[in-house]
Structure formats: C-alpha cells, structure tokens
Chain A
Amino acid sequence: ETGVTQSPTHLIKTRGQQVTLRCSSQSGHNTVSWYQQALGQGPQFIFQYYREEENGRGNFPPRFSGLQFPNYSSELNVNALELDDSALYLCASSRWSGGGTDTQYFGPGTRLTVL
C-alpha cells in the first residue's frame, strides 16, 4: 500500500451533475497530481498542485477544477458532467524535488460512471 487514499471508491452520476473526488496524500508529501484513465487507456494528466497552488495542467476544460488544502490533501471537482467523463480518476502524491524525478505514489482510484 502506498499510503495514498481516495474517496469514494465508486460513484454514479447523471449528465449535467457535479462531482467532488477526494485524495489524502502520503505523509511527508507536498504535491498531488490528478489523472483520468479511460478503460483500456493510459492515465491522462489533469493537473498538479504544489503547496496549495496549481503547478501545471493538462488538456482538460475549465469545468475540471481542483483544490489542495494546508494538510496537502486534495479535491478534484468536475462540473456539468458528460458521458465521456466516465473513467477511473487517480491521484498521486509526491515530494517535490525540483529535479523532476520525484516518484509519484498512486492511490487506488475512484471509478466514476456518468449515465
């Protein structure tokens, strides 16, 4: 186990609704990254938070937003859900090294189904 936890494990929503996913990072880590993994695909980078600030963003629309809290836990919010948002959402925590080789420890993911 990596020490990274995510909640909920599974979630079913309907189109147009909003969803909040949560992630608790591993002790000592100050960076959280969020990924979307569609069935049969590799994870796609959504964004990263470092010390409560967004530190990079992938090719996702603004309805995907996030927060990082002082304890370094994080939330991913998705507004106006679409059917294509159905995926496994992974968060990964790491300790920022500045050299780009920090190991990311992944949580078990939240399986979101949009009907």
Chain B
Amino acid sequence: KNQVEQSPQSLIILEGKNCTLQCNYTVSPFSNLRWYKQDTGRGPVSLTIMTFSENTKSNGRYTATLDADTKQSSLHITASQLSDSASYICVVSPGTGTALIFGKGTTLSVSS
C-alpha cells in the first residue's frame, strides 16, 4: 500500500533554533517528492520538489534531502522564526503524476 509516514507528529522549538522533520514513504513507482507548508486554515504552499536524481534542494532557510534508495526524506529548517509555525506536509507523487499521496504532516510550533 502506498503510504507516507512523517515524524515527529508535533514539535516545539525556540525561535532561532534549527530543526529537522522526517518523511518515510513506501510509494511505488516514484516520480517526485514535495514538501508543503500549511498554515492553520489555509491551503498548502509548495516549498520544494525533488525528483529521483536529486539529493538536496534548498528554498531559503528550508533544505530538503532525498534518499531514494532508503525512501527517506528530511526537511531542515535553520534559524527558525515565529512565522515558521505551521504544519509541514511531505507529499509523494507516483509515476502517474496525478494522485499525490500526502503524509499527515508535522505540526511545528516556534516559541519566543
């Protein structure tokens, strides 16, 4: 069964600190992996998209890594800000490119 598992479920960190969110998937075939940020009550916003051949991709303070052999990805946030408080969702696209498979997300809370 195609699944995307994320950990931890929730995380609290102090402003300015770094953190890493994890994503494991069992989706096959595999086309690409995406990380989205979703603020409460809003639609998800794309952070990164990585294909099979890409190991890392950055978007400002966000850096995503992908190990297609172990089917694992991580999202590293550096120098966290209060505005980083949100749900971060890992999404995997099978080869069809239509039925995106979403994880349940990691809820990040950044406190001052």
Contacts and interface: CB of A to CB of B under 8 A. Distances in A.
A43, A44, A107, A111 pick with most chain B CB within 10 angstroms: A43
Contact of A106 (B43, B96, B97): B43
Interface in B5-51: 31-32, 36, 41-46, 49, 51
B100 A104 contact: yes
A108 B96 CA distance: 26
Interface in A1-59: 2, 4, 33, 35, 40-45, 48, 55-56, 58
Nearest to B87: A42
Contacts of A58: 99
A108 B98 contact: no
Contacts of A55: 98
A41 B49 CA distance: 21
Contacts of B36: 106
B45 A106 contact: yes
Nearest to A40: B104
Contacts of B65: none
Nearest to B44: A106
Nearest to A91: B43
B99 A104 contact: no
Contacts of A56: 96, 98-99
Interface string B84-101: 000001010101111111
B43 A41 contact: no
Interface in A60-115: 90, 92, 99-109, 111
Interface of B: 4, 31-32, 36, 41-46, 49, 51, 89, 91, 93, 95-105
Given A43-B102, A45-B100, A103-B46, 4 more contacts: A35-B102, A56-B96, A101-B32, A107-B43
